[in-house]
A and B are shown apart, each in its own frame.
Chain A
Amino acid sequence: MGQTVILGVIGSDAHVVGITIIEQALTAAGFDVENLGVQTSKAEFVSAAEDHDAGAVLVSSLYGHARQDCQGLHEQLADAECDPVTFIGGNLAVGQNDWSETERYFRELGFDRVFDAETDPSAIVSALERDLDMTATETERVRVNS
């Protein structure tokens, strides 16, 4: 596939098990994965996306602070002239919340897909396969047109 997937847990969160398993699944599926690990700042996501010309940025958060942590991430990506597919997954709000509302919130922040904590790694692999292929095609189309 040739496009690097950036993976990390955002903010002050140290929940590592989920991204460890997702890294395994993505690597086994043939993706080039750059795992930034836990406690990754927005700036670190952006510079990794820039350095690797990333096809996708996958943000994980399990501790509830994702709203505060993700403010401005997409603007910073745009400022760095990066346009990766962005996913977020995990427990994305503190406490017992309405998932459809949480999902809408993160879609409005700019995430292409929003996953809950029960998501099977296979769902992420297949979504990524779809989205990255689509992105590649669009890029080619742009090149052809210009």
Chain B
Amino acid sequence: MLRDERLSGEQLRETAAELREQWPTGADAGFEDAIEFHESLPETKCFADVLESADAPLLQPRAGVPRLDDQIELLQYLEQEGGADLLPTTIDSYTRDNEYEKAQQGLDNARDSGEDTLNGFPAVNHGVEACRDMIRAVDAPVEVRHGTPDARLLAILTLAGGFQSFEGGPISYNIPYTKEHDLAETIEHWQFVDRLCGAYTERGVRINREPFGPLTGTLVPPSIAIAVMVVEGLLAATQGVRSLTLGYGQVGNVVQDVAALRALRELGEDYLPNDVVVTTVFHEWMGGFPPDEARANGVIGLGGATAALGKPDKVITKSPQEFQGVPTREANASGLRTTRQLIDMMIEQDIVIDGIDEEQEIIERTARSLIETVFSHGDGDVAQGTVAAFESGALDVPFAPSDSANAAVLPARDDDGRVRILEWGDLAVPDEIVEVHEARLDERARTEGRSRSFRMVADDVDAISDGKLIGRPGTGDPDPGAGAADGLAGGETDAD
């Protein structure tokens, strides 16, 4: 029976032994040997210490290519030419789906053709020694970034391989990343991952854990993201994780983004145990990007400026080639430098913006209500409460592909571009908060002379790539075309 309780050492060892037999590279991932490798690393590669001791936001890109030599070169380039403070290794999507055979085929194709046929680094196929070669070859600490519901084998191998930070969590890597994985089972799988990180932590190797804040990456209301971060943080803390970085993805409204970053830190520190060091990470815009590098740089610049105001501990940068997917190393480094320029020019300015406190208050009240509903759904047990709250829809994520979420919640921007909730489903939110959202959305509807509908959602999803923040009617696509626009209009929301 699923409970928010710490796994025993015996359970951890037994499960690890079984998992290591799932793929040949598992054999090399011994725990004692791994501790020895971590102890041999210089302080500059200790992820948690570097992140927690920084006095300005640290910058980290995403980056993963299939072949080891290419990955090492890419990371070295991002350090040297991009000025990355922290490095990533992004894992390919077959590995995320535990399809190691397909990942092997993709890796073989990459080796034969010389092309990057996978969208990331298949770390399970590469194995422990290859990971260590990478860790040795770079100067900064490295994190595993992925999107894997069942990341147990990946964690065993990459932590043994010298990575000191591991992204993800049972909600944030299930709800946005899978259709069929069961949420309760995913929580059990992440209890293992967190317990493994806890076991390293107890041996003096403090593995940093980073729940994935952006969730579905598309107009996610800040309160929902923050509630999920706190819940995942609590689950991780139970298993012995002591360095937690809670995440949030930029929505593009500066007031709301700064308020959300403050609320995230506030609630993280409030709810998590005192022996957990809580840091925050801000993801530059995760939705659709403009198909034009100059305009994309504008989006990235706004991210840097927002980071200078909101002061997260870390910023995950985007590249101006985001529109087409995996960027060249040059474009990736340029996203880092653009962000750095904005942060360095702005961070010492004392800029006062009206309205942040009020927005923060709305976000915190909503997020607290969602966190408390998890507690009450589980009679105090966070693991059970999470499953029950998603089942009832009291906790929900817009655009969630997972069968474990209702995905009845739909967001839309208000007249000021802040993300509000258009369709609530059964989300556990106080009535007075609902009224605030409704009033703000009505204001937009009046401005635009149309009723609130799914059409607004669709327009907002495209707005930033179309060159704006709010999807106003008739101003978006330079070539609006007939048909779909009319087809979408008037339809009441029925996204799922």
Residues of A within 8 A of B (CB): 11-14, 16-17, 20-21, 24-29, 37-39, 62-65, 67-68, 91, 93-97, 117-118, 120-126
A24 touches B93 (CB 8 A): no
Q: What are 18 sample pairs from A and B whose C-beta atoms fall under 8 A apart?
A: A12-B96, A12-B99, A14-B401, A17-B216, A27-B491, A65-B106, A68-B109, A68-B117, A94-B326, A95-B325, A96-B321, A96-B324, A120-B480, A120-B481, A122-B480, A125-B483, A125-B484, A126-B482
A95 touches B216 (CB 8 A): no
- A126 contacts which chain B residues (CB < 8 A)? 481-483
B117 touches A63 (CB 8 A): no
B116 touches A95 (CB 8 A): yes
Ranked nearest first, the 3 interchain pairs of A and B with the lowest CB-CB distance are A122-B484, A12-B97, A28-B487
Q: Give B443-496 interface residues, CB cut-off 8 Å to A.
A: 454, 458, 461, 465, 477, 479-485, 487-489, 491, 494-496
Alpha-carbon distance between A91 and B479 when the two chains are bound, in angstroms: 21
Residues of B within 8 A of A (CB): 92-94, 96-97, 99, 102, 105-106, 109, 115-119, 147, 176-180, 216-218, 288, 291, 321, 323-328, 331, 399-401, 454, 458, 461, 465, 477, 479-485, 487-489, 491, 494-496
B487 touches A63 (CB 8 A): no
B179 touches A38 (CB 8 A): yes
A20 touches B495 (CB 8 A): yes
Alpha-carbon distance between A10 and B464 when the two chains are bound, in angstroms: 26
B179 touches A37 (CB 8 A): yes
A95 touches B324 (CB 8 A): yes
The CB with the most chain A CB atoms within 10 A, among B216, B326, B401, is that of B401
Alpha-carbon distance between A24 and B494 when the two chains are bound, in angstroms: 8
The CB with the most chain B CB atoms within 10 A, among A17, A38, A68, A96, is that of A17
Alpha-carbon distance between A24 and B493 when the two chains are bound, in angstroms: 9
A97 touches B109 (CB 8 A): no
Beyond A17-B218, A117-B323, 12 additional contacts (C-beta under 8 Å) are: A12-B102, A16-B399, A17-B461, A24-B488, A24-B495, A27-B494, A28-B488, A63-B325, A65-B118, A94-B115, A94-B326, A95-B325
- A96 contacts which chain B residues (CB < 8 A)? 321, 324-328, 331
Chain B nearest CB, measured from A52 CB (Å) = 19
Alpha-carbon distance between A65 and B176 when the two chains are bound, in angstroms: 18
- B92 contacts which chain A residues (CB < 8 A)? 65
A122 touches B97 (CB 8 A): no
B487 touches A122 (CB 8 A): yes
- A94 contacts which chain B residues (CB < 8 A)? 115-119, 325-326
B479 to chain A: closest residue by CB: A120
Alpha-carbon distance between A125 and B177 when the two chains are bound, in angstroms: 27
